[in-house]
Amino acid sequence: MKLFRLLGVTVLSVALLMSATACTSASSLTDLVKNLSDGKTAKTGEDYIEYTNSKRMEVVEPFVGDMLDSDTAEPLLDKIEMSYEEVEGKENTYTVYIDNSDGEYFYDGIFTLKSEDQTYTVNVDMLAPETYDFFELEIEGDPEDYLYYVNGDLYDWSNETLEADSLNDQYTLNDEGTKILVVVDENEITDDILKNFAEVFYKADTVYNLNEAVTYYFVTSDNYNDTDYSNYEYEMLVDTANQKAVIKDADGKEVFTEEY
């Protein structure tokens, strides 16, 4: 096991310990995902991380492939990283970020924050490639006195994709990432096209555990005007917390709702 003491004010570096006894069969993965979905996780840590969609693991399961063996995973250990920042107005409280900077693999496991007198263990459920989860933690003592241990496994992304058939391009319209302009490569935006986008965005926002609902604005390639979305034709609110997508026209009239 590799251990790393805190090296700076806001950055932690950690290593991933691969489970030597984990089973790689499809049935064991299904059981793992089912247990996580049912709240029966075998992990021994605390559930500090909030998953916006209570059905997240049901959505994630088709995207999770085989578990990597330890030899294959070894070069990737440094890509599971953590950082933190102090929460303003809350004494001894920090926002802790767990970042999976690898572009191919899910991380599933436990990390432990341990000092001489105190231990915190945190469950991490299928952290998607190139994303991060975060949570607040009140820490006793000085963070620099803690060591971080990471236990768990890396999983391939399966053959499932998160791509909409008619997507030309998309642009983020605000810093929070909660407003996105979608350019559709079709002459006309039909209900079937919108339903396809709704399903893809619902799955993507769930897999990547977005903590807020996202509004997508739709315009055809012919009507696209830089990143100005004033001439959009439809808007779609993807609400993973309530497992639905609400589609409205440019006048704000509801067109239909997809429930998942």
Asked if the model's pLDDT at residue 16 lies above 80, the reply is no
In this prediction, residue 1 carries a pLDDT of 28
H-run or E-run covering 108: strand 105-114
36-57 pLDDT per residue, tens? 444 445 688 999 999 999 999 9
**Is residue 212 located within the same domain as residue 139?**
no
- Amino acid found at 22: A
Q: For residues 166 and 183, what is the distance between their CA atoms, to the nearest angstrom? A: 9
Choose one of 109, 136, 157: the last residue of a domain: 157
Residue 18 has a pLDDT of 29
Q: Are residues 104 and 216 in the same domain?
A: no
Structure tokens at 156: 């391939």
Kindly state whether residues 179 and 82 are assigned to the same domain: no
pLDDT value for 11: 35
What per-residue confidence (pLDDT) applies to 32?
A: 54
Number of domains in the chain: 2
Same domain as 136, residue 51: yes
Question: pLDDT tens across 79-109, in order?
Answer: 888 888 999 999 999 999 989 999 899 999 8
* Residue 162 is assigned to a structural domain of this protein: no
Q: Are residues 8 and 137 in the same domain?
A: yes
- Choosing from 103, 129, 157, the residue where a domain stops is 157
Containing domain of residue 145, as a range?
Answer: 4-157
Q: Which of 112, 130, 157 is the last residue of a domain?
A: 157
